[in-house]
Amino acid sequence: MEEEAAVLVVNAHGVPVEVPVLTGDLSVDSIRRELAGRVSDRTAALYVSTPSNPTGRLLCRELLEGIAEFARAHHLWIWSDEVYEDYAYTDRHVSIGEIAPERTLSVFSFSKAYGLAGYRCGYLAGPSAVMAAARRAATYVWSSAPTPSQLIAVRALCEGGEWVARARQSYREVGDRAADRLGVTRPDGGTFLFVDVGHRLDGRGLIGFLEDCLEDNLILTPGTSFGADYPTSVRLCFTCAAPEVVLRGVDRLATRIGARSRADDDR
Amino acid sequence: MEEEAAVLVVNAHGVPVEVPVLTGDLSVDSIRRELAGRVSDRTAALYVSTPSNPTGRLLCRELLEGIAEFARAHHLWIWSDEVYEDYAYTDRHVSIGEIAPERTLSVFSFSKAYGLAGYRCGYLAGPSAVMAAARRAATYVWSSAPTPSQLIAVRALCEGGEWVARARQSYREVGDRAADRLGVTRPDGGTFLFVDVGHRLDGRGLIGFLEDCLEDNLILTPGTSFGADYPTSVRLCFTCAAPEVVLRGVDRLATRIGARSRADDDR
């Protein structure tokens, strides 16, 4: 779970519990095991993100069915973060809301889909009783989505399909090239690579590494923003700038971590 | 305190405590007495609103100095709601932030000043250490004010003075005429009149009265939204529509409550 999401849970008087399933092999059994070790009778909801921020993974239907089954057995809501739904490259995006519609609240965003982050507009889909309550609560939290943002959002929905298709192609290409250069798995979706840089850390740890990167004009997110289990990883956003700029940055990072790129392997 | 503000306190894990000073005569002594009866060593802040929502009163410098002195004596922050600062009619608006800058957080809004509610943009002014913390917290709550709204806000600040001056004149005129028609005190500022309709309530109470008003296409806010001490009052917004529309509504309300207008008195 991203740090911002965890803070929202705390603000709502909840306790976020990390489930370290971002790295390593994922299976229904491994996810169920990790969840079972952490669920309690005070647990209210699971947070699921696909395409994943920060790993760029897609959760397939089988994994989502396993998560849905666990949620049903423990009477949990599911918070489904699907803001990157339009950016699935290797397979179709599957919403857990299709599998467990009775307990899933799916979050979507114009920020990610249409590159409109500055407009602060998104939407929520879920069971109608929950939506009615959410509308009431919204009055006291943000009143309404900004009017100009609602207008541009409608236009994006009506006319933005071609833009998204082009963005998807472009994001995928730069994601693949970045992954190849860094010698890591190509992203299934989303706009991030999650890279283990443990072999390059010195006594200053991850923060020291990130500070060194700043000298290369590289701004990366520490893995610890996604949970205590990722103290040697960094998140790289490959859509934060134009492809040629991103790839120049990727090149500097690859040099810094001594990455053996796929191009090298091919030689 | 408006219901929305009270809910924000609850959301921040606080307990809102009502201080019934909206109606009746106000003096430094009366305010200090009401505050002293409610302050505890768990009290964190006072909420002050001038020009007042819902009463349309201005708090004069003497009253604000009394409140500031109380806040200092009890080591309290002051939340100063000044979103109607541009709409002071009978006297200059005084910010308690001028009197107790070390402990005051003043809230301003483009929604009210420039009629830009749909843009969801405002600003906060306070001690620099608090502002630094507020900026950090904002990352986790609303990320940023919408970009288009920031652009229009800058333009409003640079070029909106004349618009505000005209709005002030227009608001004041319609507020005075509404007050005269309803036989209540003219507003010192803001966009509201707070009218006691107790003599017109039947067994259905305030909600029944408000439902009847809906038949006249009048939407009023129940006094109970501003605290349990106002069960027979309604808040009327005299800037919710064009002046002639508002005054038609005021006429219907006046008829419904059998108001004796100042014009009647003059006959």
Instruction: Indicate which CATH number applies to the domain containing B71.
Output: 3.40.640.10
Chain B CB contacts of A148 under 8 Å are 118-119, 146, 148-149
3-state secondary structure of A141: helix
B120 reaches A (C-beta below 8 A)? yes
CA distance A263 to A261: 5
Q: What percent of chain B has pLDDT over 90?
A: 85
Q: Identify whether residues B15 and B136 lie together within a single domain.
A: yes
User: For all residues of chain B together, what is the average pLDDT?
Assistant: 93
In a shared domain, residues A173 and A137: no
Cα–Cα nearest to B119, from B143, B142, B148, B140:
B148
Question: Could you write out the DSSP letters of every residue in B221-234?
Answer: EEGGGG-TT-TTEE
The residue among A120, A121, A221 with the most chain B CBs within 10 A of its CB, best to mutate, is A120
Among residues B126, B159, B192, which one ends one of the domains? B159
> Based on the domain organization, do B236 and B125 belong to the same domain?
no
Given CB atoms, is A8 within the 8 Å cutoff of chain B? Answer: yes
End of a domain among B129, B159, B189? Answer: B159
Rounded Cα distance between B193 and B54, Å, is 7
The number of folded domains in chain B is 2
| C-alpha A61, offset from chain centre | 17
pLDDT tens-digit series, residues A16-28: 999 988 888 889 9
Same domain, B15 and B139: yes
- Does some domain include residue A154? no
Q: Are residues A12 and A116 in the same domain?
A: yes
Give the model's pLDDT for residue B265.
57
Q: What is the pLDDT of residues A48-90, one digit of tens each?
A: 999 999 999 999 999 999 999 999 999 999 999 999 999 999 9
C-beta separation of A96 from A107 below 8 A = no
Same domain, A201 and A260: yes
**Angle of helix A205-215 relative to helix A243-257, nearest 10 degrees?**
130
Long-range contacts of B242-245 (CB under 8 A, 24+ apart): B243/B170, B243/B173, B243/B174, B243/B177
Q: Is the pLDDT of residue B211 over 50?
A: yes
**Any domain includes A155:** no
Say if residue B261's pLDDT is above 80. no
Task: Please judge whether B143 and A149 are an interchain contact, meaning their C-beta atoms are less than 8 angstroms apart.
Answer: no
Reported as a single tens digit per residue, the pLDDT across B153-205 is: 999 999 999 999 999 999 999 999 999 999 999 999 999 999 999 999 999 99
Say yes or no: A124 and A35 in one domain: yes
A-B interface: how many C-beta pairs under 8 angstroms? 52
Helices (H), chain A: 3-11, 28-36, 61-73, 96-99, 110-113, 128-141, 147-159, 161-182, 205-215, 243-257, 262-266
Per-residue pLDDT reduced to its tens digit, A187-203: 999 999 999 999 999 99
> Chain B contacts of A118, Cβ < 8 Å?
144, 146-148
Distances (CA, A) of B143 to A240, B134, B135, B137: 17, 11, 9, 9
Mutation choice for A interface testing from B109, B110, B147, B221 by most A CBs within 10 A: B147
- 8 Å CB contact of A4 and B148: no
Residue A56 lies in a domain: yes
Amino acid at residue number A153: A
Question: Rounded CA gap, A63 and A30, in Å?
Answer: 10
Question: A142 — contact with chain B (CB < 8 Å)?
Answer: yes
CB B14 within 8 A of CB B42: no
Asked if residue A204 is part of any domain, the answer here is yes
Is residue A263 very low, low, confident or very high in pLDDT (cuts 50, 70, 90)?
low
The pLDDT assigned to A235 comes to: 97
Determine the residue of chain A that is closest to B12 in CA distance: A11
Same domain, B208 and B138: no
pLDDT at position A34 is: 95
Instruction: Tell me the three state secondary structure of residue A127.
Output: coil
Give pLDDT tens digits for B110-120.
998 999 999 99
- Whether the CB of B141 is below 8 Å from some CB of chain A: the reply is yes
Quick one: B16 and B131 in the same domain?
yes
**B219/A199 Cα distance (integer angstroms):** 66
Last residue of one domain, picked from the residues A94, A128, A149: A149
- Residues B170 and B191 occupy one common structural domain: yes
| Whole-structure pTM value | 0.87
Query: Which CATH number goes with the domain that contains A253?
Result: 3.90.1150.10
Cβ contacts of A4 on chain B, cutoff 8 Å: 139-140
Q: Touching check for B136 and chain A: CB below 8 Å?
A: no
Residues A39 and A121 in one domain: yes
* Domain extent for A201: 162-266
| Residue A157 covered by a domain | no
* Angle formed at CA A260 by CA A255 and CA A265, multiple of 5 degrees: 145
Whether residue A202 sits in one domain with residue A124: no
Q: Is residue A156 part of a domain?
A: no
d(CA A234, CA A221): 6
Is B148 close to A118, i.e. CB distance below 8 A? yes
Chain A CB contacts of B142 under 8 Å are 120, 142
Dihedral sign computed on CA atoms, order A195, A199, A202, A205: positive
